[in-house]
Amino acid sequence: MAVRIRMKQMGRTHRHYYRIVAIDARQPRDGRVIEELGVYDPHVADKEARVKLKPSRIKYWQSVGALPSEHCAAIFTKHMKKWEEIETQEAAKAAEEAAKAKAAESAPKA
C-alpha cells in the first residue's frame, strides 16, 4: 500500500481547516484515513498557533516510506522543530508525574 501524508479538507464554505493525515494514496482527498498526524487552520490570526503536529508519528510514517505532499513538507520544515520540543517537554512532565505517583504509592502508610 502506498501511503501519503497529506491534508484532508474539513470545515465549511469559506472557513476551511485541514487535518494532516496518513492516507492510502488511492483514496480521495477526504477519504478514509489511516491516522491523523496534525491540524492546520489557515484562518487563525496567530501564525504560530495555526499548526499542531505529532512529530513522533510523522517520523514513524516517513520511516516506513510515506511521502508528504508539497504543502505538508513545507509545514514540516517550518514547524516540526517547535513541536518536537513541545513533545519532549510533555513526555518529561508525564514521566515526572508517574515517578511521583509511584513514590507516593510505595511510601509506607502510617
| CATH value of 3-105 in 3.40.50.720, 3.40.720.10, 3.40.50.300, 3.30.1320.10 | 3.30.1320.10
Interatomic CA distance for residues 90 and 98, integer angstroms:
12
**Tens digits of per-residue pLDDT, 87-107?**
999 999 999 998 888 888 887
**Tens digits of per-residue pLDDT, 73-91?**
999 999 999 999 999 999 9
Q: Domain ranges for the chain, please list them.
A: 3-105
Task: Find the largest Cα–Cα distance for the chain.
Answer: 63
**Tens digits of per-residue pLDDT, 38-84?**
999 999 999 889 999 999 999 999 999 999 999 999 999 999 999 99
